[in-house]
Amino acid sequence: MVSPSLLPLEAPTPAHICPFDQTCSYLEQAARELQLDQGLLAILSNPRKVVTVSIPVKLDSGEVQVLAGHRVQHCDVLGPYKGGLRYHPAVTLREVSALAMLMTWKCALLGIPYGGAKGGIALEPAHYNIGELERITRRYTSELIKDIGPEVDIPAPDMGTSAREMAWIMDTYSMNIGHAVPGVVTGKPISIGGSRGRELATGRGVMIIVREALAERGKSLVGARVVIQGFGNVGSAAALLLHQAGAKILAVSTGSGGIFAEAGLDIPALKVYAVANSKRIAVPEAVPITNAELLTLPCDVLIPAALENQITHENVNQIQASIVAEAANGPVTLEADQALLAQGVTVLPDILTNAGGVVVSYLEWVQGLSYVFWDEERVNREMEALMVYAYRHVVQESKVRQVSLRMAAYTLGVGRIAQALTDRGLYP
Ligand code: NAD
């Protein structure tokens, strides 16, 4: 029997599926598969450190608001904590904790010497202007000044944040410490030590994993019919790179709905439009489509690249894709995951599929530490090698253990962490 989670319970919204409970459930399955010691499982089921801060901010209207900010550090047995910072109204402590745990398995799976962490502030970025977002980001950073650092915990962009927020964090941290500390964040602008290739990295990783999965089935990206939910950092980069590789992107969406074109969307034109029109999406050849309709379109590859819990017991029977590539974290619920397996749909798991971002974050850190900066071609090459190696390892593990690709990715990631914990021993 696993020790109960030490995390406080949060009131679930109707039909809410707790991402932390789901991630723990996969961990327990992996632990059974690995015959892990119950004490180790209890350690891994709980984050090592949970910090919640209140962030008071004076808006330009004069109103003062207080926002809740979290940073969860799950496990640092392999190295400094690493994980994105999310700005979204649905952010909760348990969601951030789930994402921190996923980062631990992801880094271990990819062989990167980082631990898992995640941060989040419950806010709708569109409701704040740039100055207000900057004040919120700087205050959050100040509140966490003792908990982050290049050898402690290194934030990066996630939903609702980008290189801009990373630059504010780097500046706030550096001003407090008294000298420039570029290594405190990754995914920062190239002007202050960011890596070439980082912006497209998560999307490029998605493209690589999808390409490998198709190749294994004797298929190619050329002419593959692809549907993508979400056209943000990850979704738009994956769309562009898949389009460049010859795939046909039939539909994409944002929170306000999607667009569809049977003959394929002009993704470069769409990207230009989205940049010029506050992330809205439209091209002449497309017709509108809802997010619910988008998920059930017939296609070769469905790429959820937005939020958690998008494929659930309610819509899983209508999924017509042969492959679901999890670009988002946790887009398929536990129940839906089993149903997809039974339906013969291949699920490419999040901790593998969206790992391109953290791989290039690691490469950014390596470049920063060595004061030698690489061209984009080298960054992409090094990232691709790690992604392809991990993909092949996961496929091999799934064959050997006769488990799904997700469980194979978990047994590899969790197994490496368990080994490291065992080798280090339990302090004191
Ligand atoms: P983003 O904020 O840049 O984009 C999110 C996109 O999802 C936007 O297009 C938004 O309009 C859309 N969206 C929001 N709510 C939606 C809804 N209800 N239905 C459909 N679309 C909706 O975020 P991102 O950085 O692209 O992150 C997307 C996912 O990828 C998240 O799960 C994140 O954790 C994961 N991820 C991101 C990175 C990274 O490097 N940014 C790395 C690994 C994983």
Q: What's the pLDDT at 284?
A: 86
Q: Take atom 30 of ligand 1 and give the residue whose Cα is closest.
A: 328
Residue 35 has pLDDT above 50, yes or no: yes
Q: What is the mean pLDDT of residues 418-427?
A: 97
CA–centroid distance, 308 to ligand 1, in Å, is: 9
Q: Take atom 23 of ligand 1 and give the residue whose Cα is closest.
A: 159
Q: Which band of pLDDT confidence, cut at 50, 70 and 90, is reported for residue 14? A: very low
Same domain, 319 and 229: yes
H-assigned helices in 144-290:
163-177, 201-216, 233-244, 267-276
Same domain, 171 and 261: no
Same domain, 88 and 120: yes
Q: Which band of pLDDT confidence, cut at 50, 70 and 90, is reported for residue 15? A: very low
Same domain, 173 and 85: yes
Structural domain includes residue 130: yes
Structural domain includes residue 247: yes
Q: Take atom 4 of ligand 1 and give the residue whose Cα is closest.
A: 232
Q: What is the CATH number of the domain that holds 114?
A: 3.40.50.10860
- Phi, psi angles (nearest 5°) of residue 153: -160, 125
Q: Take atom 18 of ligand 1 and give the residue whose Cα is closest.
A: 255
CA–centroid distance, 239 to ligand 1, in Å, is: 13
Q: Which band of pLDDT confidence, cut at 50, 70 and 90, is reported for residue 278? A: confident
Q: Which band of pLDDT confidence, cut at 50, 70 and 90, is reported for residue 9? A: low
Domain final residue, candidates 296, 321, 353: 353
Ligand 1 pocket, mutate which of 114, 124, 202 (most atoms under 8 A from CB):
202
156 to 93, 346, 388: CA distances (angstroms): 18, 29, 23
Structural domain includes residue 360: no
Q: Residue 246 burial (CB < 10 Å; 0-12/13-18/19+)?
A: exposed
* Domain enclosing residue 167, as ranges: 49-182
| Number of domain units in the chain | 2
Catalytic residue (choose from 118, 146, 188, 219): 118
Q: Take atom 28 of ligand 1 and give the residue whose Cα is closest.
A: 306
* 22 within 8 A of 330, measured Cβ to Cβ: yes
Distance CA 273, CA 381 (A): 30
Domain final residue, candidates 182, 211, 236: 182
What are the beta bridge partners of residue 50?
Answer: 72
Structural domain includes residue 328: yes
How high is the mean pLDDT of the chain? 95
- At 121-140, the pLDDT tens digits run 999 999 999 999 999 999 99
Percent of the chain with pLDDT over 90: 92
Same domain, 162 and 217: no
Residue 12 has pLDDT above 60, yes or no: no
Same domain, 165 and 217: no
Residue 290 has pLDDT above 80, yes or no: yes
CA–centroid distance, 421 to ligand 1, in Å, is: 32
Same domain, 166 and 222: no
Please tell me which residue, 370 or 419, carries the higher pLDDT value.
419
The binding-site residues of ligand 1, defined as CB within 6 angstroms of any ligand atom, are 84, 157-160, 202, 229-235, 253-255, 291, 305-307, 327-329, 354, 357
Q: What's the pLDDT at 279?
A: 87
Considering the entire predicted model, what is its pTM?
0.96
- At 325-341, the pLDDT tens digits run 999 999 999 999 999 99
Same domain, 287 and 314: yes
Structural domain includes residue 248: yes
Q: What's the pLDDT at 18?
A: 87
Q: What's the pLDDT at 386?
A: 98
Same domain, 212 and 75: no
Q: What is the CATH number of the domain that holds 341?
A: 3.40.50.720
Structural domain includes residue 64: yes
CA–centroid distance, 343 to ligand 1, in Å, is: 26
Structural domain includes residue 370: no
Closest-lying ligand 1 atom to the alpha carbon of residue 350: 44
Closest-lying ligand 1 atom to the alpha carbon of residue 88: 2
- At 138-176, the pLDDT tens digits run 999 999 999 999 999 999 999 999 999 999 999 999 999
CA–centroid distance, 425 to ligand 1, in Å, is: 38
Distance CA 71, CA 52 (A): 7
Ligand 1 pocket, mutate which of 110, 186, 228, 254 (most atoms under 8 A from CB):
254
Domain final residue, candidates 320, 353, 386: 353
- At 361-393, the pLDDT tens digits run 999 999 998 899 999 999 999 999 999 999 999
CB atoms within 10 A of CB 423: 8
Same domain, 108 and 80: yes
Residue 118 annotated to the active site: yes
Q: What's the pLDDT at 1?
A: 42
Instruction: Extract long-range pairs of 266-270: CB within 8 Å, 24+ residues apart.
Output: 267/239, 267/240, 267/243, 268/240, 268/243, 270/231, 270/236, 270/239
Same domain, 177 and 286: no
Residue 48 has pLDDT above 60, yes or no: yes
Q: What is the mean pLDDT of residues 190-219?
A: 97
Q: What is the mean pLDDT of residues 241-264?
A: 97
Q: What is the mean pLDDT of residues 175-182?
A: 96
Nearest to 109 by CA among 388, 397, 409, 419: 409
Same domain, 169 and 212: no
Structural domain includes residue 176: yes
